[in-house]
Copies of this chain bind each other. A is one copy, B any other.
Amino acid sequence: MVRSLLVIGTGLVGTSVALAARRAGVTVFLDDIDAHAARLAEALGAGLAEPPRHPVDLALVAVPPAQVGPVLRDAQQQRAARSYTDVAGVKGEPERDVLRLAPDPAAYVGGHPMAGRERSGPMAATADLFLGKTWVLCPSERTGAEALASATALAEICGAVPLRLDSRAHDGLVALTSHVPHLMASLTAARLHEGPAGTEPMAGQGVRDVTRIAAGEPGLWTDIVRSNAPAIAAVLRAVCGDLTRLLAAVEVLAGPGAGARGEALRTVTDLLERGAAGTLRTRPAAARTPLRVVLDSTPGDLGRLLWTAAPYGVTADPAGTEFDDDGRLVVRLEVPDAAATAVVAELAAAGWSADRCAHSATAR
């Protein structure tokens, strides 16, 4: 049970946790090395900017990775809480620091709520930041049951999904899914910064999405890169190899010769195909039900079908459609399992007959 919480560090994540805990009725105390930030968090309704009089159930250390060890040591020396966790985006370095510095490593479990925004500071905080997001917990060899239970309870209070990993596995995965993507966004956006004028009307949703997270705070991200440098270096080396081969291929295509163009094109296509496959790894596999619908040959009938089905998250692929011998169009739709019955009923009401085919699970 977490009935009282001390948040040390009232930036975006600390203040968002505090707001979610307050909403759940938890008593929250706020502390920050910058008293102004703590008072802003209090003004936001995140709790009281004062020290607790008695040890709280849980202290959340929401500071950059390099500060977790020292801040936790100080908090434990003051007996601020019964259990402690943190929110740093790397977990190996804080764990090592805590094992080395803290008076009571058993009372600490590392944590990483996998949510953020490109804006930082308490005024970007929101109680809904963690809804449905993964919240990684990394027990060390010393972590005790009470610390793990309290941190798990806090993740659940925030609406997140707790996931246990060891700190080494965590750091390898976030290098791939968070730290290197951030650096790739920065590398892309840096080109825009140094490019010619006139990019704004030429920038569509694509480049905005690719670069969005590069707006994050450079100081915080420098510390994240520093503290997870080995795992990041391993991924960046592979990126650098791919980029070197890609650039060599594009240079061949930019040149006048006809010699190695075929191989250069294959190098480009190979990268694009591996990238397309990789995008499937960014979302959980969703089970989908295939439906078969036969349309008459009226122009626009397929348009009306897709329009009717679209609100249910239905997709269709040209490769899954065919015209039968009578010239009727046979369409194969992919429907999220949970919506299949509703879609069949909605299509029937509109005059179409939809048959369920064999079941399959795809990555979309």
Check B43 against A295 for contact (C-beta < 8 Å): yes
Cβ of A326 within 8 Å of any chain B Cβ, yes or no, is no
Roughly how many angstroms separate A246 CA and B297 CA in the complex, as a whole number? Answer: 58
Asked whether A257 is an interface residue with its Cβ less than 8 Å from the other chain, the reply is no
Q: Is B212 within 8 A of A195, CB to CB?
A: no
B-contact bits for A169-211, CB 8 A (1 contact / 0 none): 1001110111011111111111111111011111110111111
**Those of A102-123 within 8 Å (CB) of chain B:** 114-116, 118-119, 121-123
Instruction: Select which of B188, B225, B300, B318 is within 8 A of A250 by beta carbon.
Output: B225
Question: Is A347 at the interface (CB under 8 A from chain B)?
Answer: no
Tell whether A173 pairs with B185 under 8 Å between CB atoms, given A178-B207, A190-B275, A207-B282: no
Considering the chains assembled together, what is the distance between the CA atoms of A233 and B243 in angstroms? 11
Q: Which residues of B contact A186 (CB under 8 A)?
A: 271-272, 274-276, 278
Give the contact stretch, choosing among A33-41, A76-84, A146-154. Answer: A33-41
Q: Which residues of B lie under 8 Å from residue A190 when comparing CB positions?
A: 242, 271, 274-275, 278
Q: Is A2 an interface residue (CB 8 A)?
A: no
Give chain A's interface residue range (CB within 8 Å of chain B). 35 or more
Stretch at the interface among A52-60, A67-75, A213-221, A353-361: A213-221
Q: In the complex, A221 Cα to B275 Cα: how many Å?
A: 12
Please tell me if A324 contacts chain B, counting CB pairs below 8 Å. Answer: no
Contact A189 B253 (CB under 8 A): no
A180, B191: Cβ atoms closer than 8 Å:
yes
On chain B, the residues within 8 Å of A212 by CB distance are 206, 209-210, 279
Residues A299-326 near B (CB distance < 8 A) = 299-304, 306, 315-318, 321-323
Q: In whole angstroms, how far apart are the Cα atoms of A254 and B268 in the complex? A: 31
**Known contacts A48-B299, A219-B269, A225-B253, A238 near B191 by CB under 8 Å:** yes
How far apart are A235's CB and chain B's nearest CB, in angstroms? 6
A42 at the interface (CB under 8 A from B): yes
Q: Which of B122, B181, B200 makes the CB contact (< 8 A) with A284?
A: B200
In the complex, which residues of chain B have a beta carbon less than 8 angstroms from the beta carbon of A283?
A: 200, 203, 208
On whether A251 and B272 interact (CB within 8 A), knowing A123-B318, A200-B282, A306-B123, the answer reads no
A247 to B216: give the CA distance in the assembly, Å: 20
The dominant DSSP class at the A interface is: helix
Q: Across the interface, do A176 and B199 meet the contact criterion of CB distance under 8 Å?
A: yes
Tell me if A163 is interfacial: C-beta within 8 Å of chain B: yes
Contact of A184 among B187, B236, B251 (CB under 8 A): B187
CB of B116 within 8 A of CB of A195, answer no
Q: How far is the CB of A262 from chain B (nearest CB, A)?
A: 11
Pick the contact of A43 from B116, B233, B302 — CB < 8 Å?
B302
Contacts of A199 on B, CB cut-off 8 Å? Answer: 173, 176-177, 281-282
Q: Are A242 and B187 touching (Cβ within 8 A)?
A: yes
Q: How far is the CA of A180 from the CA of B236 in the complex (A)?
A: 17
Q: Which residues of B contact A3 (CB under 8 A)?
A: none
List 19 extra interface pairs beyond A43-B300, A181-B210, A189-B274, CB under 8 A. A43-B299, A121-B318, A134-B204, A163-B201, A176-B191, A180-B188, A182-B206, A192-B281, A195-B235, A200-B281, A200-B283, A200-B284, A203-B282, A203-B283, A214-B279, A221-B268, A221-B272, A222-B269, A233-B254
Can you identify 16 A-B contacts, CB atoms within 8 angstroms?
Answer: A37-B318, A40-B329, A43-B300, A46-B303, A118-B279, A121-B318, A133-B204, A176-B199, A180-B188, A186-B271, A189-B282, A194-B274, A194-B278, A208-B282, A218-B269, A236-B243
